[in-house]
C-alpha cells in the first residue's frame, strides 16, 4: 500500500470533519473548569501541590541514602 493513500485519507478526513473533532464541542474554559482538580481553595491547592511535588522530589534521593547507609554499616 502506498504511503500517499494515508496522506490523502487524512486530508479527506480533515475536509469532512474539520481540522479537529473537538472543534464543534462546547467546552467551558472558565474558572478552572478545564482541570480535573478543584481550584476553589487556592491555599489548600498550593500546600497540596508543594507536599506532593516536594515529596516526589525527595523520594528520588531515598535510594542513594539507603546505599550510603548500607556502605557505612558494613
When pLDDT is averaged across residues 28-33 and rounded to a whole number, the result is 65
Task: Report residue 57's pLDDT band, with 50, 70 and 90 as the boundaries.
Answer: very high
Phi/psi region, residue 18 (left: phi>0; alpha: psi -120 to 50; beta: rest), is left
Q: Are 18 and 24 in contact (CB under 8 A)?
A: yes
SS (H, E, C) 3-59: HHHHHHHHHHHHHHHCCCCCCCCCCCCCCCCCCCCCCCCHHHHHHHHHHHHHHHHHH
Q: Which domain holds residue 41?
A: 3-73
How many domains would you assign to the chain? 1
Mean pLDDT for the chain overall: 78
Task: Report residue 36's pLDDT band, with 50, 70 and 90 as the boundaries.
Answer: confident
Amino acid at each position: 500500500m502506498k504511503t500517499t493513500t494515508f496522506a490523502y485519507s487524512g486530508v479527506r478526513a480533515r475536509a469532512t470533519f474539520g481540522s479537529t473533532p473537538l472543534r464543534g464541542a462546547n467546552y467551558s474554559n472558565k474558572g478552572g473548569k478545564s482541570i480535573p482538580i478543584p481550584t476553589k481553595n487556592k491555599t489548600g491547592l498550593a500546600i497540596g501541590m508543594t507536599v506532593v511535588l516536594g515529596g516526589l522530589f525527595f523520594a528520588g534521593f531515598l535510594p542513594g541514602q539507603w546505599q550510603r547507609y548500607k556502605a557505612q554499616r558494613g
